Amino acid sequence: MTNKEEYKLFCEQHPEMPLSAQYWWMNILCKNKEWDVIIIRNDQQEIIATLPYLLVRKMGMKIILQPTLSQTNGIWFANESSLSVEEKEKICSAILYQLKQLHLQWYCQFYDHRFVTTQPFESAGYQVIRRRTYVIEDLSDLDYVFSTFTSSKQRHIRKAYRNGLKVDWDMSATAFYTFHTVSLLQRGKKNTNSQEVEVSLCEEAMNRGQGAILRVKDAEGNTHAALFIAWNSEAGYYMIPATDFNYKASGASTLVVWEAIKFLQDKTKTFDFEGSMDPAIANSYRQYGTKEIGYPCIEKTNSILIRLWKRLKARQGRKKKQQ
């Protein structure tokens, strides 16, 4: 049995594992790509930790990068509460040894916010960068959740209801992809997801009872906004939002979030907006009464060529912000 085959069975036994680290998720997002998993066992040969990864080969270089549409997929400890800090650091050292055997030119993965065992990585020359996500930490009391929204978000929702906007769950994954793509084109942007990947992810999540597409329509049947959400027992995720630019002021983009939260209340514990490095988007997420939570991006660059490329990209990003 290969590591991936064993990992598939392991994931089925641990539905609490972060969604984007699950075997089925990785298998869709890494389709026609090279991905594998590092597995660590204890003395009884029980799996105690895993690290799924996407391996990219470019110009003779081997690179591990974060798959698209995947917030986190780093190391996951089974029965973490039973492990001491020393045991977790020992596991991380074992994983670092296996990563070293891959002779990577660049390693970059985002880890779950609960992962704090970064010392072995830092000692091995890895850089730990803190990213941000925005989370509603408790969905049990919807009245309280709504009360934490800013007054402007509350007004948008009331306005949408007042104007007769309603939510349904009848949109197909293919229709959603088309709507998403068109909504991006309206803003001069391109959908970086292939149709095959986006549609497959939506359909598989829905088939597993872990995903839904919400659509906001008016009385004439016009679609104002749509949202693909996914969840497991621990968290719901704001995966792919889309809003028709012609209806940007209708309140639909806020209403669809509120309806998603209501829908998820009895299915999971928290709602994760998945963060953004864009200040305007981050500000919008904060207006839903969220808590800002940091999570680590762990990275190491061994290639001079990649270091130069990253510096150039960062310089271009700074210039773009200044324009």
Q: Does the pLDDT value for residue 316 go beyond 80? A: no
Are 270 and 92 within 8 A, CB to CB? no
Are 26 and 36 in contact by the 8 Å Cβ rule? The answer is: no
Whether 321 has a pLDDT exceeding 70, the answer reads no
Q: What is the DSSP letter of 215?
A: E
Name the more confident of 319 and 117: 117
- Range 3-132+294-322 has CATH code 3.40.640.10: no
- Taking only the tens place, the pLDDT of each residue in 79-88 is 899 999 999 9
DSSP-assigned letter for residue 78: T
Q: For the chain, give the percent of residues with pLDDT over 90.
A: 87
Q: What local confidence, expressed as pLDDT, does residue 117 receive?
A: 96
| pLDDT reading at 160 higher than 60 | yes
**pLDDT at residue 320, as a whole number:** 63
Q: What is the pLDDT of residue 319?
A: 66
CA dist 175 and 163 (Å) reads: 24
3-state helix, strand, coil in the chain (%, to 5): 40, 25, 35
For residue 91, pLDDT beyond 60: yes
Confidence (pLDDT) at 296: 95
CATH class of 139-268: alpha beta
- pLDDT, mean of residues 19-39: 96
Query: At residue 93, what is the residue type?
Result: S
> Given the structure tokens 């130069």, which residue do they identify?
308
Task: Please give the Cα distance from 302 to 160 (Å, whole number).
Answer: 52
Residue 289: DSSP 8-state: T
- With tokens 């390693």, the residue in question is 107
- CA atoms 73, 276, 241, 261: torsion sign: positive
Of the candidate ranges 151-155, 181-185, 269-273, 304-308, the one whose mean pLDDT is the lowest:
304-308
pLDDT, mean over the chain:
94
For residues 107 and 56, the answer to whether their CB atoms sit within 8 Å is no
**Residue extents of the structural domains in the chain:** 3-132+294-322, 139-268
DSSP bridge pairs for 226: 215, 242
Statement: residue 139 has pLDDT above 70: yes
**Span of 31-35, 230-234, 277-281, 312-316 with lowest mean pLDDT:** 312-316
Do residues 230 and 223 touch, judged by C-beta distance below 8 A? no
Phi, psi of 95 (to 5 degrees): -70, -40
| pLDDT band at residue 279 using 50, 70 and 90 as cut-offs | confident
323 pLDDT tier (thresholds 50, 70, 90): low
Of the listed ranges 62-66, 240-244, 274-278, the one predicted with least confidence: 274-278
Residue 23: partners with Cβ closer than 8 Å, 6 or more residues away: 4, 7, 8, 10, 11, 12, 52
pLDDT category, 322, cuts 50, 70, 90? Answer: low
Identical fold, 3-132+294-322 and 139-268: yes
Question: Cα–Cα distances in Å, from 46 out to 39, 42, 85, 177?
Answer: 10, 6, 19, 41
pLDDT at 166 over 60: yes
Packing angle of the helix pair 252-264, 151-162 (nearest 10 deg)? 100
